[in-house]
Structure 1
Amino acid sequence: MADIQELTQSVLDKVKAKHQADYDEYAEKLDQEKNEKMNRIDEKIAAGKEHNEKAADAKLQRDKQSYVNELRNKTLKAKQQLIRSVYSDSVTALNQMSSDEFKELIRGALNQVDTNKNATIHLGDKSQDILSTTDKEALQTEFSGLVFADQSLKNKSGFILASEGMDYNFTYEAIIDELKDQLAQEIAKRGF
């Protein structure tokens, strides 16, 4: 009977060992699958995290660029407004020059052309009242071929000098427009 018990025990030990080996193999396989799945999940999380970080970084860069563009546009708009204001104020200031200063401006223009021949001054309607009749007569005495046109230049300040088929534009708007680029750079430097 001891033999049967030993034999039974031996069979049970073999079955137990086989089941244990099968169990260990299965447990190892499950552990390996679990580790692989955990690694895949970690990779997906890392990839998702990296994607989210890249997306967040890209959005941050877009927002930053939008802000920079908005700031630049506001600055440009303010500069343009300042430049327009300076131009407008310049014309207004030139319209307030004295009759002596205005005569000197006309005299300087006339000295640049041959006044022995006919020359005509067309005054801007905004500058029409700066020169008195006496001032005009004094200039005509000094420059024998000078005539003042009866009609003024509508919505203009300053004057146009016509001589020998050429028109020399001394309207304040034209003078300031001619200096616009130079003035814009100077205003931009000082204003901003």
Structure 2
Amino acid sequence: MSDLKLITERMIEKKKAEVQQTIRQAETEAKEKVAVAEKELALEEVEEKKAIDRRLASDFEKNKDSLENYKRNQLLGEKQVALKEVFKEALFAMEQWSETEFQSFLLAVLRQFKEIKNLELVLGEKSVEKVSESWIEKVAQEGISVTLTTETIHKKAGFILKNKGIEYNYLFEDLIAELKNQLIPSVSKKLF
């Protein structure tokens, strides 16, 4: 019986050793799996941080571009308001010309049309008092053939010259509007 006990103890010892070996092997495999998982997790974390950094950098650039566009648009808006005011003031100044200033401008224009006979002069309502029949007679002495009509252009300053159905528009508002596109670059440089 002692042999049986000895055999049983050896079998138990052998089984314990096998179980211990299996446990050690399982622990080693588990440690290796944990190590691999930790490495993968660390790599994922690095990649995730890089992705977050890229998104943040992209968002920053977008926000920066948006702010720059907003700032540029605000500045352009302010420039447009300032330019509009400049042209409004120019129109106001022209509408306020004295009789002498208005007549000098009109005479300079009429001299360009000296060769044309039978010009009709139609004044804007705001300019009617700046030209008289006597002034037209003086102009005629220079060889400029122009007739002052009784027709006026409602709420406008300046004048229109007519000849054979052709109209030459010198209404101040229209002159400024026509010249605006040509003048904006130079006025912008002076203002800004």
Q: TM-score band, normalised by the shorter chain? A: 0.7 to 0.9
Does the 8 Å CA contact 2:114/2:145 hold for their aligned counterparts?
no
The aligned length equals 190
Structure 1 counterpart SS, 2:154 = coil
Show the counterpart of 1:128.
128
Instruction: Give the counterpart letter for 1:100 in structure 2.
Output: T
Distance between the aligned counterparts of 2:102 and 2:115, measured in 1?
18
Tell which deviates more after alignment, 174-183 or 15-24.
Answer: 15-24
Distance between the aligned counterparts of 2:133 and 2:112, measured in 1?
23
Show the counterpart of 2:25.
25
Show the counterpart of 1:3.
none
Distance between the aligned counterparts of 2:133 and 2:116, measured in 1?
22
Show the counterpart of 1:47.
47
Distance between the aligned counterparts of 1:143 and 1:153, measured in 2?
26
C-alpha change, 1:165 and 1:114, in structure 2 (3 Å) is farther
Structure 2 counterpart SS, 1:117 = coil
Show the counterpart of 1:189.
189
Does the 8 Å CA contact 1:124/1:157 hold for their aligned counterparts?
yes
Deviation, 1:187, is 2.1
Q: C-alpha deviations, 1:160-186, integer Å up to 9, x for none?
A: 111243221112122222221221111
C-alpha change, 1:116 and 1:189, in structure 2 (3 Å) is closer
Structure 1 counterpart SS, 2:152 = coil
Return the TM-score normalized by structure 2: 0.82
Deviation, 1:17, is 5.0
Q: C-alpha deviations, 1:21-51, integer Å up to 9, x for none?
A: 3333222101111012112222232232222
Does the 8 Å CA contact 2:121/2:148 hold for their aligned counterparts?
yes
Does the 8 Å CA contact 2:114/2:143 hold for their aligned counterparts?
no
Show the counterpart of 2:3.
none
Structure 1 counterpart SS, 2:131 = coil
Structure 2 counterpart SS, 1:151 = strand
Note the aligned Cα RMSD (angstroms): 2.7
Instruction: Give the counterpart letter for 1:75 in structure 2.
Output: L
Show the counterpart of 2:38.
38
Does the 8 Å CA contact 1:140/1:147 hold for their aligned counterparts?
no
C-alpha change, 1:184 and 1:116, in structure 2 (3 Å) is closer
Gaps in structure 2 of 5+ consecutive residues: 1-5
Instruction: Give the counterpart letter for 1:190 in structure 2.
Output: K
Distance between the aligned counterparts of 1:115 and 1:132, measured in 2?
22
Return the TM-score normalized by structure 1: 0.82
Distance between the aligned counterparts of 2:163 and 2:114, measured in 1?
8
Gaps in structure 1 of 5+ consecutive residues: 1-5
C-alpha change, 1:65 and 1:144, in structure 2 (3 Å) is closer
Q: C-alpha deviations, 1:136-173, integer Å up to 9, x for none?
A: 44234444631111111123221111124322111212
Question: Are 2:119 and 1:119 aligned?
Answer: yes
